[in-house]
Amino acid sequence: MTMQCQNCDVLVIGLGPAGAVAAAEAAKAGLKTIGFDGKSRAGYPVQCAEFVPSLLTNETLAAYHQSQQLIDKMVTFVEDELPDEKIPFSGRIIDREKFDAELCEIAKNCGAELHFGKKLIKLDGNKAVFSDGTSVIAKVIIGADGPHSFVGKSVGLINNETLETRQITIQLLSPIKSTDIYLSAKYIGGYGWLFPKNETANLGIGVAHEKRHLLKPLLEELHSRLIAEGRVGSEILYTTGGAIPVGGMIKPYAKSGDATIILAGDAAGLTNPISGAGIPAAVVSGRMAGETAASLLNGNIEAAEDYEQELHELFGTSLKRARAHFEKLLAIHKDGVPNPAQLRNGWIAYDEYWSEKFNNDAKGETYDLLEA
């Protein structure tokens, strides 16, 4: 039996928020667009704490449609000190599975052809080969395949630093409207979080990749503390985790044979190295990647360079600031143990985080959706 080989204008690898939005945008421009994801269905399994800032509804109404509950403040617990409140801090907890699924539905309605349960296993020039043996030849290939992007690796564009996470979903014994953050010298390179979702909550911890063996005991310890405080139940309803790119933005385009490669979302290293937030950047860069594909295929040979420039303008300042804080905290860990003041200094809820000057401070506008 001969395996099927198709041609298309735009091939999208990965149908998380970045890929789904990119596919919608390319299809909307009238391009023959095909998307693939290794997952058997959109958005599942969920690897996310499901918080998005309010401003994301300006980009996609899916954030509104799939809203589960509103958030109006951030409460930060630093070691065993009294908590600090940041008010207002507005956002929503979404149903991430339904959010991703809605974005894929939108892409299909725009005319994109989407396939699930098929993983990219080979990229040979402009030809992509999938786990079921099918292959696709494309003019533009959008790599929206997450932190360990296969597309990126194939052209030497690699996220070389990641944070590792572990998260459980548990019962919340009384409702809260805050995202609760736990800062501790024990959470090297990361932090703990309790994000409410009505009667349940996502409780997780992120740490530097080399410390990932500590995730399970650290999360068990935080869970026990919250049980003892009477805030959450002991039953674990769901366990997940995953990598978060923390190295900052990488070059988001390259050539692969005749095809132009464009990276978006986590694949392009757009997730904030301090907060770990990446959904807004995935949605925004996905839209821009789809627009870039259309512009390239319309004859604008500078479209990919323009894309890189625009990403820098939108995300560069906040990513550089976060990266500088991240490096500073890791350096403190190398010499000893960060004290509570140093932990606060490196977290987005505190004025010190925003006012500190670093050598790599970029000039220009910040489009940090978390600042909203």
Ligand X SMILES: Cc1cc2nc3c(=O)[nH]c(=O)nc-3n(C[C@H](O)[C@H](O)[C@H](O)COP(=O)(O)OP(=O)(O)OC[C@H]3O[C@@H](n4cnc5c(N)ncnc54)[C@H](O)[C@@H]3O)c2cc1C
Q: Nearer Cβ to ligand X, position 287 or 299? A: 287
Residue 271 Cβ vs ligand X, minimum distance, rounded to whole Å: 4
Strand locations in the chain (E)? 5-13, 33-37, 51-53, 67-71, 73-78, 84-86, 91-94, 113-116, 120-124, 127-130, 135-143, 162-172, 178-183, 192-197, 200-208, 232-245, 253-256, 259-263
Site for ligand X in 179-238 (CB under 6 A): 204
How far from 157 is each of 210, 261, 333, 360, CA to CA, in Å? 22, 10, 29, 22
Q: Nearer Cβ to ligand X, position 284 or 296? A: 284
Q: Nearer Cβ to ligand X, position 196 or 204? A: 204
| Binder of ligand X out of 271, 292, 318, 345 (CB under 6 A) | 271
Site for ligand X in 121-160 (CB under 6 A): 144-146, 150
**Segment interacting with ligand X, rule: CB under 6 A, options 4-12, 24-32, 266-274, 309-317:** 266-274
| Binder of ligand X out of 279, 284, 324, 329 (CB under 6 A) | 279
- Look at residue 274 and give its three-state secondary structure: coil
At residue 130, what is the residue type?
Answer: F
165 lies in the binding site for ligand X (CB under 6 A)? yes
Cα gap 169→112, rounded to integer Å = 34
Closest CA to 184 of 333, 340, 349: 340
102 lies in the binding site for ligand X (CB under 6 A)? no
Can you spell out the DSSP letters for 300-332? -TTHHHHHHHHHHHHHHHHHHHHHHHHHHHHHH
| Binder of ligand X out of 35, 38, 189, 273 (CB under 6 A) | 38
| Binder of ligand X out of 48, 104, 155, 289 (CB under 6 A) | 48
Lateral strand order in the sheet of 162-172: 84-86, 73-78, 178-183, 192-197, 200-208, 162-172, 232-245
Taking CB positions, which residue lies at the least distance from ligand X? 278
**Segment interacting with ligand X, rule: CB under 6 A, options 64-72, 272-280, 302-310, 338-346:** 272-280
Residue 212 Cβ vs ligand X, minimum distance, rounded to whole Å: 12
**Segment interacting with ligand X, rule: CB under 6 A, options 69-77, 133-141, 252-260, 275-283:** 275-283
Closest CA to 286 of 247, 259, 314: 314
**Segment interacting with ligand X, rule: CB under 6 A, options 16-24, 134-142, 153-161, 335-343:** 16-24
317 Cβ partners below 8 Å, 6+ apart? 361, 362, 363, 364, 365, 366, 368
Q: Nearer Cβ to ligand X, position 158 or 339? A: 158
| Binder of ligand X out of 265, 316, 338, 346 (CB under 6 A) | 265
Cα gap 59→62, rounded to integer Å = 9
178 lies in the binding site for ligand X (CB under 6 A)? no
Q: What angle, 0 to 180 degrees and rounded to 10, lies between the N-to-C axes of helices 17-28 and 96-109? A: 20
| Binder of ligand X out of 50, 161, 180, 308 (CB under 6 A) | 50
168 lies in the binding site for ligand X (CB under 6 A)? no
| Binder of ligand X out of 189, 196, 242, 290 (CB under 6 A) | 242
Separation of CA 30 from chain center: 28
277 lies in the binding site for ligand X (CB under 6 A)? yes
Give me the residues that bind ligand X (CB under 6 A), please.
13-19, 36-39, 47-52, 119-120, 144-146, 150, 165, 167, 204, 241-242, 244, 265-267, 271, 276-279, 282
